[in-house]
A and B are shown apart, each in its own frame.
Chain A
Amino acid sequence: MRSRWKELALLAAAAVIPFVGWISLDLAAEGRVVAGNVIYPLLMVSMFLAAHAVLRFLRPDADPVLLPLAAALCYLGITFLFRLNGHMARLQVIWLGVGLAVMLAVVAALKDYRVLARYRYTLALVGLALLLSTMVLGQEVNGARLWIVLGPLRFQPSELAKILLAMFFAAYLADRKELIARAGRSFAGMNLPRLRDLGPLLTMWALSLLLLIFQRDLGSSLLFFGIFLAVLYAATARISFVLVGLVLFMLGATITFFAFSHVQERVDTWLDPLNPETIEDESYQTAQSLFAFAEGGLSGTGLGRGHPDIIPFVETDFIFAAVGEELGLFGSVSLVLIYLLLISRGLYIALRCEDDFGKLLSVGLTAIVALQSFIIMGGNTRLVPLTGITLPFVSYGGSSLASNFLLLGMLLCVSAPRRELAGGKAKAAAPAGGGGRRAAATTGGAGGGDDARAD
């Protein structure tokens, strides 16, 4: 239960963000504080408090840092959405509720995350089907074909697909890592893989290339392949796989560069966004994003006092530029550091986890957050070519927010396996005082052993 008290303290600290945001925004827009607007920060903070209360009941020993970090990101995101587009902000508050419900549902349903490993091929098939659906039925928005439109609902299937595939990678490689890691012969200090072990790598490579061509989006292609490589490397510790993978990806990307004009356009605007010939058209977005960061300087223009609304799609793809403009380098670097904290917490859970599937699953889920945030933040700042993916927990988007909370729920599950059962036993068995913690750790370890035998 100590974890939950920590979580409550951290949530209280994060709760400052929406209230400060509300006051600053009202002062900037109206010149006075509109008392009625307090409803939104109150609503958001209550939602997180409610989720916290349910977690106390469902999983008292789950990691205490993940939820407050996600809260900080959501608070910041929704505050900026209120600044940019009130309608989207109110929708996002609803999506936040949906997302937290999804997270709690996962935590409630997954008493033991290890059952997921049994459904690995089902998960992989559903994930692939979701991806293929965008290739076939997808609607093009902002140059990339990432959306499925069902009546009034727009849904981005790749958001869910990447989580499903991360589960599959983890389950698949947890089984075969020994085989893949040991085989092969040594060459120039590196252990070269056998050709047959490259099968999964080549399959993923082909899939990511398909994504690149049909979705017209380098970002999600790079993201899928990157998640796979991260899990593969964690499982096998073989840098040769990563190098072969990266070379293959570069090769594929180069071929598509010459074969498809839209890829060339993306690369051109990446290399020279300030070209006067394209600055009003193709590279307008990237250039305006760079201008936004430059305008922000060290401390920013102040919330509500800049002009991030000049950038097209600022609420989804470029919300990081809005943060950079209005909160300056202090704000943009803080955001990077919050992601780094979230990522380090994810890896910490992986390191502490006792079973291979749990470890690799945490690595895969963490890699999603790490690579996705890096690719979009790098795209906004022209470090990598621009792609239309969301900034996790911050950008506007229902399917994105719900998927991110699904991911968070799974990480919470991995951080405290079977704790209800084991924790209950430990509590009953342990004498009063400090012994409870050690007892819980021991039973956790035993749980891992049980599973290894069962699998």
Chain B
Amino acid sequence: MQESMRKLGILFIILAMVLVLNLSYLQVFGQDGLVENPANTRRLVEEYGISRGRIITADGLVVAESVKSEAPFAYRRSYAGGSVFSHVVGYDSPQFGRSGLEAHYNDFLLGRKPSRGWVEEMTSDLDEGNELTLTIDSELQAAAAQALGQRGGAVVAMEPKTGAVLAMYSWPTFDPNALVSQALDADGNLAADALMRAYAQDPTSPLFNRASMGLFTPGSSFKVITAAAGVDAGIPVDTFYDCPAELAVNGSSVVNYAGSPDGSMNMDTALTFSVNTYFAQLALALGGDLVDYAQRFGMNGVPPLDYPAVSAAFIPQAGEMDDVELAWTGAGQGRLLMTPLQLCLAGCAVANGGKIMVPHLMKDVRRGDGILERYEAGEWRAPISADTARQVLNMMVDVVEEGTGSAAAVSGITVAGKTGTAEVEGQQSHAWFIAIAPAENPTLVVAVVVENAGGGGTAAAPIARELIEAALK
């Protein structure tokens, strides 16, 4: 009997070991799958029990704050900036997750970052988050929204010396307050569910931020990069090409826009009047260097903006293009795809002596009066020399003063710019404009795209002008 009781004891020890092994699996090794299960509301209850930090523009406008919510959550977001800021700020919803800066700076807004040390984290309650200050200027953002109006497109404005994004607006946009509302409809379902479905099915994609993700053919606005590549590669501004209205290339041809001058001209004149056949010849002279330069400006890579939805602009590799496509690429047509953000960054290189600073939306993170983290400006790329940048900038001044970009001129401020009219098959062209102001000491770079709106000089340049006026006047 003693023996069988000992064996019974061993059985109980084995049962306890099985329990411990299973617990170790559940609690430590196999934990992730359970924590992330969609039916696990613990994280939601936890996170929406925290008063998230406010999001404030550089000039002090509160664009997002936490307010008391209906059960089961303690708090929900309120967006005073509404749809003007919705793409930048994003939304924070227990049902649909997070987007925009709400997603990117989630840990900061929840107060989990920067770390406060384990002693404080264990002893004090983490029920208040940190405040995020943006580089966005509310007036410039409002001006961008006002200028673009109800036209599909986007506006990006940056400070070239620091990489600070001053405005980023995209239309169509969405109503973030309706999306995070916990109100129920007549059937007792979450009212925001139907709204989210409508947004998701809308062919104009209102949830899609065209400023950072929209890929459009750049048209002539790309000539800024072609010109910069040429000058930097040793083809001086004073290089004259004979530019017919139609240039034969390998049995096909590159044609100018109606009304462009023809004959022999230098790069300055060609950029000022956006002459396709000049940049076609420049591209053929550059060959693979054009692609290399485009990539040095950041194309074919995702710009390191502190924002979760950023697309890479695209240029085909030299080996994948024949001479016809290479010639057209120099003029901004072909398979090229550009985002407004990437064009703005290219403009920043021209405006900032050839260097592109890392683009950013965060200015600092605060808790009460203390600044916990401050953004430190850093260089991202240096695609061209300072000398090249100055020469390209001078040519761009002529574009606004004498050429296609005259609609961007502002009295009393020297504006540099370049238009783009990207031909889209079967539809009206996309209108582009890239502006730098003031040219003597640039503090603002603006990139504008308006979908299917016609010429860049007529549809996009005035928008850039309004932003320059809002920022510098």
Contact = CB atoms under 8 A, between A and B. Distances in A.
Given A329-B27, A359-B5, A294 B45 contact: no
B16 A336 contact: yes
Contacts of A377: 19
A294 B26 contact: yes
Given A31-B125, A307-B46, A294 B8 contact: no
A374 B15 contact: yes
A363 B2 CA distance: 11
A294 B2 contact: no
B9 A344 contact: yes
A295 B35 contact: yes
**How would you classify the secondary structure of chain B's contact residues: helix, strand, loop or mixed?**
helix
Interface string A199-239: 00000000000000000000000000000001001111100
A234 B1 CA distance: 6
Interface stretch (B36-44, B144-152, B368-376, B455-463): B36-44
A363 B22 contact: no
Contact of A291 (B4, B24, B35): B35
A1 to B, nearest CB: 28
Interface residues of A, number: 53
Given A297-B27, A297-B31, A363-B8, A280 B39 contact: yes
B41 to A, nearest CB: 7
Contacts of B2: 351
Given A329-B23, A329-B27, A333-B20, A274 B37 contact: yes
A378 B19 contact: yes
Contacts, number: 123
B27 A294 contact: yes
A234 B8 contact: yes
B5 A347 contact: yes
A276 interface: yes
A294 B31 contact: yes
Interface residues of B, number: 37
Nearest to A333: B20
Contacts of A310: 41-42, 45
Interface in B184-225: none
B24 A329 contact: yes
Interface in A252-306: 274, 276, 279-280, 287, 290-298, 302, 306
A339 interface: yes
Q: Give the most central of B5, B6, B16, B45: most A CB within 10 Å.
A: B5
A452 interface: no
A70 interface: no
Given A291-B35, A378-B19, A359 B1 contact: yes
A351 B5 contact: yes
A340 B13 contact: yes
Given A279-B39, A344-B9, A347-B8, A381 B16 contact: no
B46 to A, nearest CB: 7
B1 A374 contact: no
Contacts of A296: 27
B132 to A, nearest CB: 25
B3 to A, nearest CB: 6
B8 A233 contact: yes
Q: Which 3 A-B pairs have the closest CB atoms?
A: A294-B34, A237-B4, A291-B40
9 contacts: A234-B4, A236-B4, A291-B42, A298-B27, A347-B9, A350-B5, A351-B6, A370-B15, A381-B19
Given A294-B30, A329-B28, A350-B5, 10 more contacts: A234-B1, A287-B37, A294-B31, A294-B35, A307-B46, A324-B23, A324-B26, A351-B5, A382-B22, A383-B22
